[in-house]
Chains A and B, each alone.
Chain A
Amino acid sequence: MIDEKIVRGHGLAPEEYALIAELIGREPNLTELGIFSVMWSEHCGYKSSRFFLRQLPTKGKNVVQGPGENAGIIDIGGGLVIVFKIESHNHPSYIEPYQGAATGVGGILRDIFTMGARPIAVLDSLRFGPLDSPANKAVMEGVVSGISGYGNAIGIPTVGGEIYFHDCYSMNPLVNVFALGLARKDRIFYAKTGGGGHLVLYAGAKTGRDGIHGATMASAEFGKETEHKRPNVQVGDPFKEKLLLEACLEVMDKGLIIGIQDMGAAGLTCATSEMAAKSGTGIEIDLDLVPQRESGMTPYEIMLSESQERMLMVAEEDKVRAVQDIFAKWDLDAVVIGRVTGGGRLKVKNEGEVVVDVPVDAVVNLCPVYEREVRPPAPAAAFSPPSPLPPPPGDCGRALLELLASPTIADKEWVFRQYDHMIQLNTVVRPGADASVLRVKGTKKALAMTLDGNSLYARLEPRAGGKIAVAEACRNLACVGAKAIGATNCLNFGNPEKPEVMWQFKEVIEGMAEACRAFGIPITGGNVSFYNDTEGSSIYPTPVLGIVGLIRDIGRTVTPEFKGDGDIIVLLGENPGELEGSEYLRYRFGREEGPAPGIDLRAERNLQALCLKAIARGLLRSAHDISEGGLAVCLAESSFMSRGWIGCRVTLEEDARTDALLFGEAQSRVIVTVRQRRLKPLLDLAARMKIRAARIGTTGGDEIVIDHKGRRAVRLPVRKAHKSWKQAIPDIFSVKKQEANVE
């Protein structure tokens, strides 16, 4: 009954099918084929990426749990751990933006609280096509509403993130969601079964037909028939998840369960087989006992459903009652659907008949790993032959005004004010700064977190793109006084069967691994999203790094905005004036030319160490890293975020094109401000740490004034520049341009 067409329809290669038959010793039936197909999909099985991912550093002295579990865990001292991870929900968010994004949030939150942690923060990294297209606007509006709708209702603050716009995402937006939770070190839970005889409990929402083959869908390219895939997208219910969150944390707090796993991608199949595989046991479930939303569902559908807000738990028989009581208190059912067995087999019964009987190990661990062919693109495509750069603009002030209105650079308040970013009373530094900062109640500590990834750099030079993503995230943390302690990555790429894409992947991973080693940061988990191709064209390679930092004393944190008139502005780091890979070249001239900005990891590490030391000693009034848009945009942002829009006067003396100094994106640069009397200590410290520190100006006035070698380059009233930056995105979405008086 299973023919080649069915096998192909399940996204499996003929050799893979042959391997399955060999592993189970017979031809699989359709349900079994479905089980293998989702577990061996790229999304669950990491079959193309695993080979390269092994290079990433995953160890460190504070790492409690590295990759391989629902999320990574890092010890922050005082009996507390943080549990965090990033995941993509790209494909569903294109098909159905609202639900795709909403369930992306729901899914990652379950990964966190499954481990016994209460989620305290969500950040998201979004990529859309240009907003002059109504379709892209609709996708963005849907995604933002979906994140807002889910996150706000469940009550986890969305405290930050990033958004970029580029043509390559028009048919393939990216939605990467990061979540972080806090747990007691002695109350961490894993997906395990403990041993034979324990009971398997199903809790949460009923199983429906939604999301069947979501994982397989996320492992294939999109063509014109994408519309038909809408039923593959799940529908989220944040209220149900809130109840599930409270009930799960309560049973875990009371120590009533042995193991727990959420039913996310590949649903019941993944949860049952992974729990058993991790403990080396078998598992037996009866589908007649599984709560179902609709009648007539086949075993295939029940096993593969990706209905949201469901959990699978294992408990000792005498604790089941107590578990059920707690779930009942939260108006949820927790029903026994099976038992842990000794045999190492996944057995599924339906109407008294065994419909699945396969070795757990084969399903979970024996997915083939491919070392896919890697081929660098033809040189012409990698680096365009050096063509003369466009001449510098006559009026750099005008150019700055335009750049501030580029959606990638413009103010994102329109987005984050739709997110509840203050709930839970921890948000000390709100979205918009270099990194978001959350206090840890009951301690002096705080956590800083940021997401970073510039896909243009990764496109121009994948290895540098990987390095810069790590470097920039760590620099953002250093700017608020936080030392990076752990990272998670979301790797968004095209079709891995294309050797050029695989080459990009390999290069990015190698760059990332090198940077993580240089900074001593472990990667404790993450997610790979391949097949970000629509109608044959791939997105730019988009590595997104989520890095968490620790601030030992919340009293010693610094924010990016100017604090008052008359402070001295100091530029830390070299200022070579590179225009390559800049948003300025791309936005103003439509030119995407390589190489990516240069990055020297040793200099970067010293720069970050300098920032941390200066902040710990209380020298700095503000610190802001120079990134997209360069130095001029960095200064402007520090001005816009300040109380009363404090201006600045800056003089640059470097020998370089004025526009390259103003808008170039050379790495490893931070702009800080200090009081006059702190200037000398800062310059001395920088000299000792071998970092160039140049006094470039002072804060004050109501204009942004930048001179270069005695010539006035920019003179703009802050008010005017602010309007350009602030209104760009609201104007795109608003029919009636009105400005509300919300900060």
Chain B
Amino acid sequence: MSIRTGRPGIAEREDVHPDHFERKGMKFGVVRFPGSNCDQDAFHVLRNVLGRKTVWLWHKDHALKDVDCVMLPGGFSYGDYLRPGAIARFSPLMQEVREFARSGGFVIGICNGFQILLELGLVPGAMLRNRKLKFLCGFVHVRVENDETAFTCKARKGQILRMPVAHFDGNYFAPAESYPRIRARQAVFRYCDEKGRLTEAANVNGSMGSIAGIINETGNVLGMMPHPERASETLLGSGDGRVIFESVIQSVESKPAVRARRPSRPAETGPPTGRRT
């Protein structure tokens, strides 16, 4: 087991454990922007907890290294002094990420990663400051609204996941004309109380429709404010977030690969599916 727990304490590096113990399965790429700070956490979980090949993707490069899923981690990219994600979207690598997403590749944006996806226009909407105008860190509950996505196919609809949030700008907003469609078709997670009720108090940051996570119309891009990587080891308080990564793994590994640089897949219509029913 020890080999899976990573390098003692210090930092996650690709070159420390050569990939000789994790032969099969998909490959994740974690993007590092200057100011990313949940990058090591995501890397640790994907590689050491879930045992999948994981590589770093550098924001200045143009190489997606043949990954099956791109992870945009949390943090304060470029300091987020202007507006969260507003500068990161211009990073060189984002051209490739955009194309990768358009061609059906899986992309997950967590927290600042979600904010960057919004700025990139890969998912609709925008983020406002939290309702109480304070940074907010703590465990919250979210309800799975759609279990037919590539990111939730191992969860069930209505399932309640306990995960941490840690953000200042997580108050989701969408324009009135697109909101009904987003809520009906694209909302994947909504803030709820421990019993699954969508209360005002449970909507910690004041998000429209209590939306905590959404997918794009083609179902291959997920943005979410809560941190599933912080809820992947029960020692740290919750293992509920793993289901999201396990869903992606199943979606990729049980299907012909949608690798980076593959020709684009026709856009699907109707609710995107990850699970074959």
Decide yes or no whether A242 CB sits under 8 A from chain B. Answer: yes
> Using Cβ atoms and an 8 Å threshold, which residues of chain A touch B233?
425
Asked whether any CB of chain A lies closer than 8 Å to the CB of B40, the reply is: yes
Question: Is B44 a contact of A79 with CB atoms below 8 Å?
Answer: no
Residues of chain A within 8 A (CB-CB) of B2 are 442
Q: How many whole Å from B30's CB to the nearest CB in chain A?
A: 14
On chain B, the residues within 8 Å of A443 by CB distance are: 5, 8-9
Docked-complex contact A441 and B236, CB < 8 angstroms = no
Task: Please determine whether A442 and B201 come into contact, CB atoms closer than 8 angstroms.
Answer: no
Contacts of A423 in B (CB 8 A): 37-38, 41, 74, 166, 230
- B9, A80: Cβ atoms closer than 8 Å: yes
Would you call B201 and A152 a contact (CB within 8 A)?
no
Nearest chain A CB to B10 CB, angstrom units: 6
Residue of B nearest to A78 (CB): B8
Instruction: Scan A136-177; emit 1 where CB is below 8 A from any B CB, else 0.
Output: 000000000100110011110000000000000000000000
A739 at the B interface (CB under 8 A): yes
Q: Does A740 make an interface contact (CB < 8 A)? A: yes
19 A-B interface contacts by CB (under 8 A): A152-B76, A152-B135, A155-B76, A183-B10, A239-B76, A242-B34, A416-B137, A418-B134, A419-B135, A420-B137, A424-B40, A426-B236, A442-B7, A442-B8, A740-B201, A740-B202, A741-B199, A742-B138, A742-B140
List of B residues within 8 angstroms of A425 by Cβ: 41, 44-45, 229-230, 233, 236
Asked if B78 CB lies within 8 Å of chain A CBs, one says yes
Q: B8 touching A441 by the CB < 8 A rule?
A: yes
Q: Does B272 contact A (CB under 8 A)?
A: no
Contact with A along B200-240 (1 / 0, CB 8 A): 01101000000000000000000000010110010111000
Which 3 A-B residue pairings sit nearest by Cβ, starting from the closest? A155-B37, A239-B79, A442-B8
Closest to A158 in B: B137
Task: Assess whether B138 is in contact with A417, with CB atoms less than 8 Å apart.
Answer: yes
In the complex the two chains form, what is the Cα distance from A421 to B237 in whole Å?
Answer: 13
Least Cβ–Cβ distance between B125 and chain A, in angstroms: 22
* Cross-interface CB contact of B79 among A153, A184, A740, cutoff 8 Å: A153
**CB closest chain-B residue, reference A425:** B41
Interface string of B24-39 (1 = CB under 8 A from A): 0000000000110110
The contact of B9 among A145, A428, A440, A738, by CB within 8 Å, is A440
Residues of B within 8 A of A (CB): 2, 5-11, 34-35, 37-38, 40-41, 44-45, 74-76, 78-81, 132, 134-141, 164-166, 168, 193, 199, 201-202, 204, 227, 229-230, 233, 235-237
Does A256 belong to the interface (CB within 8 Å)? Answer: no
Q: Is A120 an interface residue (CB 8 A)?
A: yes
Which residues of the partner chain A approach B204 to less than 8 Å between Cβ atoms?
740-742
Chain A 434-461 interface residues, beta-carbon cutoff 8 Å to B: 439-443
Contact flags (1/0) for A171-205 with B, using CB distance below 8 Å? 00000000000111000000000000000000000
Q: Let me know if A422 is at the binding interface, CB within 8 A.
A: yes
| Distance of B239 from chain A, by nearest CB (Å) | 13
A330: Cβ under 8 A from any B Cβ: yes
- The answer to whether B136 touches A417, judged by C-beta atoms less than 8 angstroms apart, is yes
Contacts of B202 in A (CB 8 A): 740-741
CA separation between A425 and B6, bound complex, in Å? Answer: 12
State the CA gap A329–B132 with chains docked (Å).
37
List chain A residues, Cβ under 8 A from B44. 425, 441
CA distance A165 to B132 in the complex (A): 24
In the complex the two chains form, what is the Cα distance from A243 to B36 in whole Å? 10
* Contacting pair B137 A331 (CB below 8 A): no
Interface centre among B34, B75, B137, B202 (most CB of A within 10 A): B137
| Size bracket of the A interface | 35 or more
Q: With contacts A442-B8, A742-B204 known, is A155 near B38, CB below 8 A?
A: yes
Which residue of A153, A441, A742 is within 8 Å of B35 (Cβ)?
Answer: A153
Inter-chain CA distance A153–B36, complex, in Å, is 9
Contact indicator A182/B10 (Cβ below 8 Å): yes
Q: Confirm or deny: A406 has a beta carbon within 8 angstroms of a beta carbon on chain B.
A: no
With A153-B79, A428-B235, A428-B236 as given contacts, are A441 and B7 in contact (CB-CB < 8 Å)?
yes
Instruction: State whether A330 touches B34 (Cβ < 8 A).
Output: yes
* Chain B proximity of A442: nearest CB distance (Å): 4
B265 CB to closest chain A CB (Å) equals 34
CB–CB B236/A422 < 8 A = yes
Asked if A238 is at the interface of the complex by the 8 Å CB criterion, the answer is yes
Question: Nearest Cβ distance between residue A120 and chain B, in whole angstroms?
Answer: 7
Please give, as numbers and ranges, the residues of chain A lying within 8 Å of B80 by CB-CB distance.
Answer: 153, 239
Q: Would B37 and A120 count as touching, CB distance under 8 A?
A: no
- Do B9 and A741 have beta carbons less than 8 Å apart? no
Please indicate the chain A residues that have their CB under 8 angstroms from the CB of B227 in the complex.
Answer: 422
- Kindly state the separation between the CA atoms of A120 and B8 in the bound complex, as whole angstroms: 13
Inter-subunit contact A120/B9 (CB<8 Å): yes
* Residue A743 at the chain B interface, CB threshold 8 Å: yes
Chain B residues whose C-beta falls within 8 Å of the C-beta of A740 in the assembled complex: 132, 136, 201-202, 204
Complex CA gap A351/B191 in Å reads 62
Chain B CB within 8 A of A727 CB: no
Interface bits A674-715 vs B (CB < 8 Å: 1, else 0):
000000000000000000000000000000000000000000
**Complex CA distance for A237 and B78, rounded to whole angstroms:** 11
**Bound complex: CA of A124 vs CA of B132, how far in Å?**
23
Q: How far is the CA of A380 from the CA of B166 in the complex (A)?
A: 52
Q: Which residue of A lies closest to B232 (CB)?
A: A425
Within the assembled complex, what's the spacing in Å between the Cα atoms of A78 and B44?
20
Residue A427 CB within 8 A of the other chain: yes
Nearest A residue to B11 via CB reads A118
Q: How far is the CB of A277 from chain B (nearest CB, A)?
A: 30
Chain A residues lying within 8 Å of B9, measured Cβ to Cβ, are: 80, 118, 120, 182, 440-443
Contact B34 A331 (CB under 8 A): yes
Determine the distance from Cα of A416 to Cα of B141 in the docked complex, in whole angstroms.
Answer: 19
Question: Which of the residues A118, A237, A418, A738 comes within 8 Å of B135, measured between beta carbons?
Answer: A418
Q: Are B134 and A742 in contact (CB under 8 A)?
A: no
* Pick from B79, B137, B236: contact of A419, CB under 8 Å: B137
A568 at the interface (CB under 8 A from B): no
Complex: how many Å from CA A603 to CA B180?
67
Q: Are A239 and B8 in contact (CB under 8 A)?
A: no
CB pair B140 A741 closer than 8 Å? yes
Contact (Cβ within 8 A) B35 A239: yes
Q: Which residues on the B side are within 8 Å of A239 (C-beta)? A: 34-35, 76, 78-81
Q: Which B residues are in CB contact (< 8 Å) with A154?
A: 37
Per-position 1/0 for A307-325, Cβ under 8 A of B: 0000000000000000000
Contacts of A152 in B (CB 8 A): 76, 135, 137, 166, 168
Q: Which of B37, B79, B165, B204 has the most CB of A within 10 A?
A: B37
Cα-based distance from A548 to B217 in the complex (angstroms)? 50
Q: Is A554 an interface residue (CB 8 A)?
A: yes
Q: Contact: A184 with B10, CB < 8 Å?
A: yes
CA of A741 to CA of B196, assembled, Å:
12
- Of all chain A residues, which has the CB nearest B201? A741
Task: Decide: B40 and A743 in contact? CB cutoff 8 A.
Answer: no
